[in-house]
Amino acid sequence: MLKRAGASVRTITQPLRPQVRHPIEMVSVDLGAQSGRVALGSFDGRRLEVSEVHRFPNVPVRVHDRLQWDALQLYAGVLDGMRAATRQSGTSVVSVAVDGWGVDFALLDRSGRLLQNPVHYRDRRTESAFREVCAQVPARQLFARTGIQLMPINTIYQLWSMVAGQDPVLDVAKDLLLMPDLFHYWLSGVARRELTEATTTQCYDPVAGDWAWDLLERLGLPSHLFGEIVAPGTILGDLRPEVAEDTGLTGAAVISPASHDTASAIAAVPFREPGSAYVSSGTWSVVGTEVTRPVIDDRSFSANLTNEGGPSGTFQLMSNATGLWLLHECQRTWEQHGHRWEFSELAALAGAAPPLASLVDPNAAAFVAPGDMPGRIADWCRRTGQEVPEGPGEMVRCLLESLTLVYRQTIELLTAVSGVSPPAVHIVGGGSRNELLCQWTADATGLPVWAGPTEASEVGNLLVQAMALGELGSLEDARAVAGESFSPVLYEPCQPGPWDEAYGRFKQLNQAGMVT
């Protein structure tokens, strides 16, 4: 049983390696819900250059009606990427770090062996767990203790479903690691949980800076699984000898960055004005603003906002919303029916489709599970008395316009809760290269939009590594490097009128109870 540390968040004591002459080379591993990407970063003290060296699919597998991540296949992809980095850089790489999605976890036995493939957050096992947990601990109390948005995918509900179902794996589990932590453990041999990931679990108390031990015990969750937490930018140690020999990265350190991919992406936002909002746009859309301490009160609870850890002691007041996953699901469904659409083709069709004809709530329960997304969207519009989108162009336009209205709604909530009206919006991640999404966000919010960097999680991962190595002195320095290395593109609002009317319709649909 791991000891509960009083000051849970700390940096492991490791002597920093001697100052490396510029440029230094680092490897980032960014694990997304659909693919993994390994990139080589070269930093000369002023600019960061990033080149992707390997990409591999992340395809969940359903076994016995349980949706799981193929962790070993992902690890094989990570190692392939590290070998590719060696081929491109030689032996000059000084560090490796992994970031990935939140909430999902791996369980290890007392010998440090993986007990089973981690379960996917979209698995249905938490459907009743959410209600059952809230019956024991009222939702307002859960939020007061953790500051985290109430979402059935959160770790706390996943664990509860295992306890309630008397899952036998809990009888032999000795350690819980979030997904990036698992790969750091396999690479370095050091098993630690990183802060930004820990905050996504809804098992962490951001005020106390430790696990919410009393909450875990009240729910009967196995608290012995929750071990020590480390801060973003912690040097865990060198690569295991066998990993270093296999990949050729001899002497490279393993660094725990801001390992939640959203936190890494936010580390790369080149803010131009204080108080600006951001959208990390990918499979999920995360809309938020950076704060110095968590905002946990009645207003943030009513707005269903979340407080997740960020780099350098910051917190992110934000909302997690369904993102471009809806579009990806549409593409997958169309391909199953023999129509493979490239996004450039879909964007052209969407741009030519009638504007603001139909709207959906991307966060509705109807759109949570994988499946026939075009059919569900059509059914939503039909049930709400709207025009049913015909063809891929109208369908994609409906999705993108609806996403931008979610952004506007969330920014209004953030403004009301924080008391700060954002002067601009920064869009980072895959959505930043979507010109329609960026321009329509500017139009819908009435705010200038700065787009980029695109691979923000990779960039932020590398910048936090550079901070850990002593190559950058602060988060502000890191963001200045991001701004100079990846020039953002500006989108000015130009058509606010029609969007105001559409936003009114959008809110009426939600108020009418069509979110379920």
Residues labelled catalytic: 261
Kindly state the DSSP code that residue 317 receives in the 8-state scheme.
E
Residue 466: closest CA among 184, 50, 132, 82: 50
Handedness of CA 136, 140, 141, 142 (dihedral sign): positive
Tell which residue, 259, 511, 332, has the closest CA to residue 409: 511
φ, ψ of residue 275 to 5 degrees: the values are 85, 5
Residue 342's contacts (CB-CB under 8 Å, 6 or more residues apart) are: none
Cα gap 280→284, rounded to integer Å: 8
* Tokens, residue 182: 């698992």
First to last CA, the chain: 42
> Phi-psi bin for 465: left (phi > 0), alpha (psi -120 to 50), beta?
alpha
CA atoms of 98 and 495, how far apart (whole Å): 41
How far is 96 from 98, CA to CA, in rounded Å?
7
| Distances in whole angstroms, Cα of residue 97 to Cα of each of 221, 236, 237, 264, 420 | 30, 10, 11, 11, 34
> Are 409 and 459 a contacting pair, CB within 8 Å?
no
d(CA 295, CA 147): 7
Cα pseudo-dihedral 461, 413, 291, 285, rounded to 10: 0
Q: DSSP state, 219? A: T
Task: Work out the burial of residue 207: count CB atoms within 10 Å of its CB; fewer than 13 is exposed, 13-18 middle, 19 or more buried.
Answer: middle
In one letter, which amino acid is 447?
L
Strand spans (E) along 225-363: 229-230, 234-238, 253-256, 277-281, 284-291, 306-309, 315-322
131 phi, psi to nearest 5 deg: -65, -40
Gyration radius of the chain's alpha carbons = 22
Question: Which residues, including other chains, have CB under 8 Å from residue 318's CB and lie 6 or more apart?
Answer: 286, 287, 288, 289, 305, 306, 308, 410, 414
CA distance 91 to 79: 15
Distance of CA 226 to the CA centre of its chain: 21
